[in-house]
């Protein structure tokens, strides 16, 4: 375990595609989605055991969720939970955490992860992270983890890679250290593509040159701060001006002002798609972003009829369904095939799995016709 390794967990999203289970007041990262007795946030932190010291873990979340984070991760000190006043996508979130960590430790290497992903093979995951850390520690590179695609999924972004030597300009040693070897498994990124259509996704998978974009990143603190200066200079300017206030009683007031000045922009669009020192590490550790009900069906425990059930349920003549209901309510299902049956907090959803992309439309209609009490 390296004392200069830090973990940043992004835990501020609402997860509206997982409605009604994921709600504004209690998003999916605070739920036991997989039925393992641990929330997605807890499982995320668990899988980094041995990667970094507990005091080097930071969770970035909406200020409304700070108390929830404290409940789920009571081992974290208050200053390890960074509260965002409003959602501004991943670039300001990562800037906030990276500038904060860079002030604490100029030699820091940071792993950034979403709080709501699933990993089935944790030891393989830890091995992959350690490989990425070796590359990031002594090279001026931005590393993302790419997942070997198992199907032409149109719900994921794709990364095209090429075999290329790391340029000499990207090799930078830390004070008193020799340059480490660059892991051979790392590949230079050629292009990013957001959620292609089915035909293009099939071409990507068939070519063998593309990986799914996991949204997991590894880089040195100074490398990502430099990238902000180069590609998102407006955000860098905001955090440069107030960086001395980070870690002090003035931090909250500064962050409120900073977020009012920051654009709503993702780190992928703002930095990763523009930078020329981006590398991807191909990985296969049973990953899913658990962004949809169908992804839960793929990741969950299946019964003999290919159903994934989390609840007190009796099923008859029912196949290929996802049933997720409160344990105190008995649910009897007969004659369904390929459906989602989900209940949480006074909302029941029954929807074809093939139509799950309409969940966001359902939620919009609920807000406009039934009020905000169900969102």
How do the pLDDT tens digits run along the chain, 375 residues long? Answer: 689 999 999 999 888 888 999 888 999 999 998 888 999 999 999 999 999 999 999 999 999 999 999 999 999 999 999 999 999 999 999 999 999 999 999 999 999 999 999 999 999 999 999 999 999 998 899 999 999 998 888 888 899 998 766 655 565 554 444 555 778 889 999 999 888 888 999 999 988 889 999 999 999 999 999 999 999 999 999 999 999 999 999 999 999 999 999 999 999 999 999 999 999 999 999 998 887 898 889 888 899 999 999 999 999 999 999 999 999 999 999 999 999 999 999 999 999 999 988 998 999 999 999 988 888
At 17 the pLDDT is: 86
Residue 300 and residue 284: Cα distance in Å, rounded?
18
SS3 content of the chain, % helix, strand, coil (to 5): 40, 25, 35
At 174 the pLDDT is: 47
Structure tokens at 161: 């890679």
At 273 the pLDDT is: 93
**Of 102, 80, 85, which is closest to residue 240 (Cα–Cα)?**
102
Residue 25 and residue 69: Cα distance in Å, rounded?
13
In the chain, the N- to C-terminal Cα span, in Å, equals 42
Residue 23 and residue 178: Cα distance in Å, rounded?
49
pTM of the predicted model over 0.85: yes
Burial of 16 (0-12, 13-18, 19+ CB in 10 A): middle
Residue 38 and residue 45: Cα distance in Å, rounded?
11
Residue 12 backbone phi and psi in degrees, to 5: -105, -5
Pairing of strands 278-283, 187-193: antiparallel
At 167 the pLDDT is: 59
């Amino acid at each position: 375990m390296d004392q200069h390794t830090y973990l940043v967990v992004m835990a501020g999203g609402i997860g509206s595609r997982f409605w009604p289970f994921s709600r504004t007041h209690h998003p999916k990262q605070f739920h036991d989605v997989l039925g393992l007795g641990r929330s997605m946030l807890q499982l995320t932190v668990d899988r980094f055991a041995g990667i970094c010291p507990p005091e080097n873990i930071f969770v970035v979340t909406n200020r409304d969720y700070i108390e929830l984070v404290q409940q789920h991760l009571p081992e974290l000190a208050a200053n390890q939970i960074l509260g965002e006043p409003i959602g501004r996508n991943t670039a300001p979130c990562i800037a906030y955490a990276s500038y904060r960590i860079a002030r604490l430790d100029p030699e820091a290497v940071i792993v950034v992860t979403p709080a709501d992903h699933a990993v089935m093979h944790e030891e393989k995951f830890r091995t992959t992270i350690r490989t990425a850390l070796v590359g990031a520690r002594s090279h001026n590179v931005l590393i993302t983890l790419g997942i070997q695609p198992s199907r032409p999924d149109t719900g994921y972004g794709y990364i095209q890679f090429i075999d290329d030597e790391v340029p000499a300009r990207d090799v930078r040693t830390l004070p008193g250290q020799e340059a480490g070897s660059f892991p051979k498994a790392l590949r230079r990124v050629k292009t990013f593509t957001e959620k292609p259509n089915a035909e293009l996704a099939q071409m990507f998978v068939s070519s063998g040159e593309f990986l799914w974009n996991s949204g997991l990143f590894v880089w040195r603190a100074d490398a990502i701060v430099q990238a902000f200066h180069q590609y998102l200079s407006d955000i860098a300017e905001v955090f440069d001006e107030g960086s001395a206030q980070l870690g002090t009683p003035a931090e909250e007031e500064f962050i409120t002002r900073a977020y009012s000045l920051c654009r709503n922009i993702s780190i992928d669009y703002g930095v990763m798609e523009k930078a020329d020192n981006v590398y991807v590490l191909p990985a296969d550790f049973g990953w899913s972003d658990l962004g949809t009900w169908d992804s839960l069906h793929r990741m969950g425990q299946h019964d003999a009829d290919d159903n994934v059930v989390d609840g007190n349920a009796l099923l008859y003549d029912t196949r290929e369904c996802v049933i997720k209901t409160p344990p105190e309510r008995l649910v009897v299902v007969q004659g369904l095939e390929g459906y989602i049956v989900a209940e949480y907090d006074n909302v029941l959803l029954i929807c074809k799995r093939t139509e799950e992309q309409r969940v966001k439309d359902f939620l919009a209609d609920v807000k406009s016709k039934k009020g905000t009490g169900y969102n």
